[in-house]
Every structure is written in C-alpha cells, then in structure tokens.
Structure 1
Amino acid sequence: MSIVLACDLGGTSFRAALVDDTGAVRAQHAIAGPVSRDDRSGASEIEPDAWWSLLVETCAGLAAEAPALFEAIEAVAICGVTRTQIFLDRDGNSLRPAMTWKDTRADACAARLRERLGTAHPESAAVNAFHPLARLAWLREQEPEVFGRLACLLEPKDYLNFRLTGRRASDRVSLARLLAAASPHGSHDLLAAAGIPVTILPEMLEPWEQVAPVQPGLPAPLDRLAGKPVFCASNDTWAAVVGLGAMRDGFAYNISGTTEVLGVVGREPARAEGLLTVDWRGLFQLGGPSQTGADTVSWLLALLGRDDSAVGQEIDALLAAPRQPQPLLFLPYLQGERVPYWDPSLRSALVGLNRRHGPTDLAFAVLEGVACLNRIVLERAEAAIGRAATEIRFGGGAAANPVWSQIKADLCGRPVVVAASREPGLLGAAIIAFAGLGRFASLADAQQALVSVARRFEPDQARKPAYDALYTLFRRAEDALAPISRDLVAAAQNGGTLADLARHASAIASLHAD
C-alpha cells in the first residue's frame, strides 16, 4: 500500500489527507483558513505566512491522528486557490500581503491598460481587475518601492511548494493568464508593454512533475518528510476536475465550494465571450470561476438568523418546507462577478418578492439563481465548442445536497453526476502524486482507476417549461438591473449622496446602541 499527502488550500479552509493507491482517504484533517482583510477600496489581502502556518498545523493534526500512516508518506501534492498573487523579493521573502481572488483594486488600472494596449494581442480583452497583469500594473503604479524589489510572482500552492523545497516553480495551468500576456503576438508583448519584467515568472513545470524533495530543517512534523518528492500540482479547479473524473473530452464540470467554477472540456481550443480558454495539458477548458457558491448560501443563512456554520443542515431544513406558487428571482452577484461578466460592480437583487414569501422561497431563489448563472456559462461554452456536454460532473460541498443537484440538472438540461469522493480536490492532488510516482502509466489512467460515481441526476422534462421561463426572466432582470448596480456602487465609491446617507444611518445606529 502506498500513501501520499494530498492538500487542498481552499478559499476558506485548508484540507489535508493521507490517501492510499486505491483512492481511499485513510486520514483527513481540516482547519479554517485565514480571513482575508477586505475594505471598501476593493482590497482583499492575506499574509502568505498564514498559509504556511496552516500547512504545518494541518500536518501536525494528521501526524497525531495517524502517526504510522504519516511516516509512510511517499510524496506530497498541494492544489490551491488561483487568481491570487504572492510577491517575493530575490531572497524569497514576501514583500507585501497577497492579493486574493476577490481583490478589485486594479479595476481602473485594467481599463486604462485595455485602452492603451488596444486589441492587437488576443489577451488584451481578458485584462480586468482579476487579471495578474492588471494586479502587477497596479502594484507598479501604487507601490513602486515594492514593485522595484519584486523578483518572483507565485500563487499560494506554489508558495507552499517553495517553502517545502526551496524551488520557485509553477505550472502552465495556474499561470495561464500571465503566460498568455507574456507570449508575443506579432510585435506585441503585453508584459513588456505594461512595464513588467519577464524575469518575475517562476520556472514552469507540468502538474505531475516533481518540484524537488522536501528540504531538511523544516518545523515538525514536516521535518519527517525530508527527502520525499513534492509534485507541482495545479490550481484547485484543475485538481478537482481530475478528482471528479471530468478531465475527459466532452465532459462539463461544476465545482461548488466557497465560490463556483464551471466549464466544458474539449480536445480543441475554443473561445466564447467572457469565458476563459485554458490549455489543460492535452485538453482545453472553456469556462471559469464565478464569485457565487456556498458563500452565497452562508450569506442567506446569516441574513435569516440561522446557523451559517452548519450550512448543509440548515439549507436542508429550508428546502424541506413548502414554497409559494409564485417563484422569486435572485441575481447572485453579492461580490460582483467574474465569469462571464468580469464586472466587480454587479450586485445582487431579489425580484418578485411578495408578502407571502418566506425563508424557503428565498433558499430556492438563491439555488436557482446560481444555477441560472451556471446555464449562462454552459450555453456559451457549448455554442463555442459546437456540441452539448455529455454530462456535468458536480463536486464540492453543495454536491452533497440532492435538491441542488437536481435543480442544476433541470435548469441546465444536462445530467448532473456526483462523484463518490466528497473532496475531489484532495483526490485530484493524490492522483497527481501517484501519477508522478509512476504508479499509473498516465494521469488519465490514474483518474480512471481512482474515481468512482455516487449518484446521477437526470433532467426532469416535466420541469423544463417552467425553468426555461424562469431562466428567460432571469436574463431580462440581469439586463435591466446591471446599470442600476453600477450606479449604486459608483455612488458609494465617489462619496456621493447615497454614501452620505449610508454613513448617516450608521451613525444613528451607533447612537442608539450607546
């Protein structure tokens, strides 16, 4: 029996597991991740050392729970959140807090970049507040002293690999957008045009390639892993798609964690408005990450005064009650949106609320709103590829809820298949490690051997007319309310009368509290 250490650095937690070569999790430990420091400017930051502390603490939990298995670890693979930048100096020290996937401060800088760069380079249109090129340009503009000392840019999982091995490396999936910007197109090089030196890029490896062995002298219990190979792995989406068994031509995937990611996998590259095309090393994905997901459900539970630390139980209870005949529409853009709109100024709305609606109606509206967004991405991807997806492999916390799985199947009109593994990111990381160790002939063979299916949800044709009508109304509501969202956000950012009114209300509330 072989054992590998698989880790998944998520948006709100860090999970690690000891996985054997049948795909079985023999021990698992999870702890809450560091809370990002967010403010009204659009900042969202985390100290990189906080992620390193999570790795040490989580491994300590595993070593205490299963000491013999921990000693048997043969390799390490870590997947993690993407669209998050860590800035290192030449000695490998962090220069400033990491900018997380939620950070929108580069929005104005991105707009100026797009205008200046024009459309000659194919990546220009993709430059937005979440693009690493815009983040680097913002750093160069706003923090020139830090930018001047910048020697290397890493993503969180790459930073942990660096701390484990001493080698600065990444993979072409995780850094796809930055590599696209750095790739010359004719006489155009976006990185050079933005004044960003190409030397900040780390070495590029395949996800299943070894970074280096674990170096000696690390804090316990990582010191017991010295000499064990660390594999590069990739971002959490890529690893989870492997763990769902969806890294196959014609499959779609939907990973629902704190936020959601949906895409279609094919053999040829295709492009669609607002979607990301990424070379997944032999296959191509068309889709990308949203800002909605389980965090949207947590927001609803907190709003209703329910226990948002027990999301699964609470949402099950809400969905079990009867709902009103008139449905609600929910636009799920609490934090703006990435795919397919790339607009940090979009905001949520409940449309059609009446006096008889209650918590159950709100719960269904939230789940259906997220599923409507899934359908938008799916339709754009399928139209670009020229065929329908065979099925949607569904994973993450929300996949445990059969009602949500059925809603997605009904609204998207595709079978939704839930994998047996409750932690596809961890299984995907383990598959990467076993492929890297040579236990299987290829990553595809490892995926085929270690992934199994738990349940399949077929679209209910009886619900199709109602859900098609709801989807049409959802699209109309989006078009009507998007300009109002942007005006509200602009008023708050510019200190206008609406912002003054909000501050006045907050001051009155403080007086009453005193």
Structure 2
Amino acid sequence: MVAVGIDIGTSSVKALAMDEHGDVIATSRMPYPTSHRPGGIAEQDPDDYMASATRALADLSVDLRTVTSIGLAGHTPTAVLVDHDHRPTRPAMTWQDTRASAESDELAATFGDATALFGTPLAWSPTALPAKLLWLQRNEPDVVSRTRWVLQPKDYVSLQLTGAPSSDAWSSKGLCDVRDGSPATEFLQHVGWSEDVCPPIAPAWTALGTLRAVPAARLGLSAGIPISVGWSDALAAVLRTGAFSTPGAFIVTGTSDIVGQTFVGEAPPVDGLLTLPSACAPLSASYGPTQSSGDSIAWLSRALNRTIDELFALAAQPTNDPPLFVPFLRGERTPLWRSDVRAVFMNVSAEHGPGDLLEAVMLGVSLSARHVLERAQGPGGGQPGPIHIAGSSTGITRWTEARLRTLGSTLALHREASPSAAGAAALGAAAAGAVLDDVVQRMMRTAKQVTPTPEQVADSDRLFAAYLKLVDFALEMADDKRR
C-alpha cells in the first residue's frame, strides 16, 4: 500500500508518499505564485493548483502505479469559483485577500453572532468566505451569474481528478452549516447567491469520487483509486500531530500558524477563536490561524536583502532584554481579527543588528501563537501533555530555542517537512478503507520531546507580559488611524 497526500498550500503544492507502516518514503514540492496588489488583493490562478500537483506527483520517487489512494488538503478560506464546465470564472481570492473589509464590517453589524447561520461563531473577517461573497456580488455580478460551484483549492483539484464536486463542512464554513453540511440558505440569499453553489458536503476522510481514466493516464496513476474529500491544510496537519486522537495543544507552523487545543465533547466557544464542532472532526477544537508567522521571516529576508539561510546564520546578542516584535505585517486574524493593525518593533537600540532583529521576529511569532493558545486553553490551562509542534521549522534548532523561551512548556516536535501532506495521506488511506486513527498512531512514532529549563519558563512569562503590552499599543495606534 502506498498512500499519497497532496497539500495545496498557500505558496506551493507538497506531495508525500507513505507506506503501510506510516513511514514517509518520498516527498516533493512545487511552488506557484500569488499576485499581491494594492487594496488588499491576493489572488492565484486555480489552474496552477492542478499543474503544480501534476509536477509534484511526477517528482515523487515512487512507482506511481503502486499508489492505492490519494488524500487532499489545502489552504482555506479561499474562494475558487467554477462554471458548469468546471472552469474558473475568475482568479481565486485567497485567505490573504482583505479587499472585503467594508463588507465584513457590514455583515458584523447586520448579523452579529454567526452561529445561527453557520453552526459556529465564525468571525466576520475580510479573509473569510462570507465577506468575499458579498464583495463579489457587488463588484463582479457577472462572475456570480456564471459560477456553478464555490470551492476550495483542494476541491478544485479533486474536481479535475474525479469530475465530482465535493467539499468538507469545515473548509466550506461560511457557505454551509458546519453541523450538517446543509447550505447556509439565509446568508446566501442575503448576499445574492444561490444555495446551489454549495458543493456536496462529506467528511474529509471519505471518498466521493475515484480517479478518472484520462487524468490517471496523464499522471501515471491507476484509474479508479479513491480520492478523499480532503480537509483544510490546518486540520490535516493537526491530524498528523495526533491531537485529534488524544486531546492536546498544537501549533502548526507555516506562512501563518495554526494554534489551538482539542477536546473530548464540544469545545467551549472562545471570543476571537474558531470553534470546531465534533461533527466535523474526531475531536472538537478551539483554535485559530495567525496571519504572518513564516511570512514575517520572509518579510525580514526581503527587508535585509538576505536569503533565509543567510538570516539564520546571523547571531543575536545573548541578553535577557531582547528587542520585541508583534507580527502584524498584514493585520492579524486570531485572536484580534483586525486587518488594520500593523507590526511594531520595540526595545531596539543602536547596539542591535540584523541577528537581533531576526531573534525579535522569531520571539514575536512564537508569542503570537501563545496568545492564541492561552485563549484556547482558558484560565484553567489545557490538557496535560506537551504542545505538539509541526511544520518545516521544527527541524531548526534556533526555532526550538525560541519556542522554549516563549511558550515555557514541553514540546513534542513532529519533524515532517509537510505535516499537511502527511495528514492528507492519512485521509486518503482512510478513504481506501483503513482505520484513520490506526494510520495516525503509526505516523506518530517519530515525535521528539524537549523540555524548557526553569530559566526559560520564567523568561517566557516575562516576555509574554511585555508582548501583550505591545499588542495593546499596536491596537491603540490602529484605533487612532480609524478616528
């Protein structure tokens, strides 16, 4: 058995092949561009998803004829609109697209708590689907009239492979009621969309279609293999950490971080966070995405005109009083949901150099994750056990030190280069008949635990208190600009 996972990520497609023991036997990555333009525009060509997935599969060093399933994951919430012929009606509006700020404010004022509409207290953010749908109706009504399905990137790839439109409830939140997958009829009517644009909804680990003969021949795969409905890249990565098997805390790193806590029963709703119900996953969760984690490192790389490798070769001065940074370069999602708030450096002196700025950015990114995690865990703290850390940065010692210094907790490092693709592979194996939790347990054997020193624990509390003050300052500055 070879299960393949394909993650349609924010900046690239990652493919991964996994054997029956849960061991990763091959990986590949194929980047594609995002068009960032003034006005908060962040768009992608949906055909790049399929083209990059095709090349990523070709680059896997496995005999593709032995592949028995394909699992999918992808970035969300991104509006991929297709017509009756399964062709895009416009470029995809990614989760980084914030042009619908006025629409999100209007929807918040009109509806307030979104739970009755969507089955979860979805934030009225310009990054989410609802505001995008209203913006499209007002600005591109011809596109709306030509659109048959509103999909996510992984759904678009699935449609090209199987010919069957599908999605999971959580990836399509804002389009459907996440409790039962039914279209969010009241909301869709309010914003001028037909409920028929909502695709058939099914659990992420099931198959609504199999690989058709024509794409199978083009890809070198066997026709008829099951393809999972798939999940958001965030939840697929959380699945890989085991946090959907045993309740626990998690941080999935990437362009943005995904941070939260899973629970037995229903997760308590937390202001500013997403509430994943048990209808959508093996365990419920209180969690949320930040806006700029790895993206902050990429920004510093551009600002200092150094490659990422050159950045991490820079040393920081040993100090208990480092510069601090809040990573609000493109605003912030959880727990603030403010697209207008901006990044701030503090405590920078003439003695500080590029290495100290890198250290500040790393500490700030990790402290922003702690900000979300402490909200998710509540005043009583989370479940006993380590914080699961997944993502490519888990293999970088300097990142581990920064996290120990800011989180002050034992960490379980899952050093998969692409945890979302690994989680997708598990979804594909389940779609082919395997027991999902059995697959995940086999994958978890490689986790490594690290524990902070008492000094790092004390340092983390002091840094977090300073970070929260800096967040308040950033919000005050943003409020001043609004006046």
Amino acid aligned to 1:137: L
Partner of 2:99: 105
The structural deviation recorded for 1:174 is: 1.4
The Cα shift of 1:214 comes to: 0.9
User: In the alignment, does 2:409 pair up with 1:414?
Assistant: yes
In 1: Cα distance, 2:165 partner to 2:468 partner:
44
Q: Is the 8 A contact 1:87 1:95 kept in 2?
A: yes
Instruction: Give the one of 232, 248, 255 matched to 1:251.
Output: 248
Q: Which amino acid aligns with 2:275?
A: T
Give the structure 2 partner of residue 20 of structure 1.
Answer: 19
The answer to whether the Cα contact below 8 Å between 1:290 and 1:337 also exists between their aligned partners in 2 is: yes
CA distance in 2, matches of 1:118, 1:450: 41
Aligned to 2:342: 347
Q: CA deviation at 1:485?
A: 3.7
Any conservation in 2 of the 1:406–1:458 contact (CA below 8 Å)?
Answer: no
Amino acid at match of 1:101: W
Structure 2 counterpart of 1:285, one-letter code: A
Of the three residues 64, 67, 72, the one matched with 1:73 is: 67
Alignment of 1:483 onto 2:476: yes
User: Counterparts of 2:302 and 2:318 in 1: how far apart (Å)?
Assistant: 20
Between the aligned partners of 1:434 and 1:181, the Cα distance in structure 2 is: 24
Q: Greater relative contact order: 1 or 2 (C-alpha under 8 angstroms, separation 6 or more)?
A: 2
RMSD after superposition:
2.5
Partner of 1:32: 31
Question: Of residues 453, 457, 468 in structure 2, which corresponds to 1:460?
Answer: 453
Q: Compared with structure 1, are the counterparts of its residues 401 and 90 closer, same or farther at alpha carbon in structure 2 (3 Å cutoff)?
A: same
Deviation per residue, 1:23-80 (Å, 9 max, x gap): 22222221212x2111111111111111111112222223xx44xx211111111211
Q: Distance in 2 between matches of 1:41 and 1:301?
A: 23
Q: Tell whether 2:316 aligns with 1:317.
A: no
Deviation at 1:487, TM superposition (A): 5.2
CA deviation vs aligned residue, 1:114-173 (integer Å, no higher than 9, x gap) = 222244855576222122111111111111111122221100001100000000001122
Q: Show CA shifts across 1:254-278 (max 9, x none).
A: 1111221111111222111110011
What residue in structure 2 maps to residue 301 of structure 1?
301
Shift of 1:182: 9.9
- Inter-partner Cα distance in structure 2 for 1:124 and 1:420: 33
- Cα contact 2:4–2:70 (8 A) shared by 1: yes
Alignment of 1:166-181 (within 5 A): 166-180=163-177
1:128 and 2:134 aligned? no
**Cα distance in 1 between the residues matched to 2:245 and 2:40:** 37
Gaps of 5+ in 2: none
Distance 1:389 1:476 in 2: 28
Write the distance in 2 (CA, Å) between the matches of 1:75 and 1:181.
26
Deviations 1:346-380 (A, max 9, x none): 11111111110112211111111111111111111
**Cα distance in 1 for residues equivalent to 2:189 and 2:180:** 10
How much does 1:105 deviate?
1.0
Secondary structure in structure 2 of the residue aligned to 1:196: coil
Q: What is the one-letter code of the residue matched to 2:200?
A: E
CA distance in 2, matches of 1:433, 1:295: 29
- Aligned AA (1:366): V
Give the superposition deviation at 1:324.
4.6
User: Which of 144, 155, 159 is equivalent to 1:158?
Assistant: 155
Give the aligned partner of residue 292 of structure 2.
292
Please name the residue that 1:437 is paired with.
432
Match of 1:469 in 2: 462
Q: Is the 8 A contact 2:250 2:389 kept in 1?
A: yes
Aligned residue type for 1:96: R
- Aligned positions, number: 476
Q: Distance in 2 between matches of 1:248 and 1:71?
A: 31
Q: CA deviation at 1:91?
A: 2.6
- Report what 2:204 is aligned to: 207
Task: Answer yes or no: is the 8 Å Cα contact 1:60–1:221 preserved in 2.
Answer: no
Correspondent of 1:117 among 103, 106, 111? 111
TM-score calculated relative to the size of structure 2:
0.92
Question: How far apart, in 1, do the equivalents of 2:131 and 2:380 lie?
Answer: 29
